Amino acid sequence: MLKKMIVTLFVILSSLGAKDLSLERTIEDIYHTLKSKKELLFNTKYINNKTGVYLIYRLGMCDRVEHLDKVSLTPKSELTFLSIQNTITTIPKGIKYKKITYSCDKEAWSDDGYFIYKVNKIDLLSNAQNYKKNTLLEKDLYYFIDTINDTSFYLKEIDGLWYILLLDEVSGDCGA
């Protein structure tokens, strides 16, 4: 009986570590894909074709949310996830599972590096002028923050694969 409990506990703990490792590898792969500017691969592999992706950005004093079927990595319009593509200098290694915050007074994050933590609600969306509630964006999400490359986005596991659900162009921007 004890042996069975130990084996069960080992399997549970192993699967949790595998999920974290899978998420970290996905983030590294996202960066490699973006750095090589492979737009088709990025959209095929990291944007779910059923859910699309949301982009939150600031226009003047208002935060806006756009729902997109795909992401443009070239500056064709304002609805381009430019900050991640144009500023990537390093590939995330040593991702820490820790919540950090941005201080407008200090104009800095509370820590430097690569961070990820689980969230059940994207607070940024409540401030967005045109956001319509979507239950997909309300549980089992992971928020990734890269203070080195000034990038952040939300990921979710869908059918065993990790997808980007929201590209965040607002966090770390206190200007209006």
What CA–CA distances, in Å, run from 16 to 12, 44, 45, 128, 142?
6, 26, 23, 34, 14
Which residues make Cβ contacts (< 8 Å) with residue 71, sequence separation at least 6?
39, 42, 43, 47, 53, 55, 80, 81, 167
Read off the amino acid at residue 84.
I
Give the start-to-end residue ranges of the domains of the chain. 2-168
- Average pLDDT of every residue of the chain: 79
Question: Contact at 8 Å (CB) between 102 and 172?
Answer: yes
pLDDT, tens digit, 9 for 90 and up, residues 44-94: 999 999 989 988 888 778 888 888 888 877 665 555 554 455 556 677 788
Q: Measure the CA–CA gap between 60 and 64, rounded to whole angstroms.
A: 10
Which run of H or E residues covers position 119? strand 114-119
Q: Is the pLDDT of residue 155 over 90?
A: yes
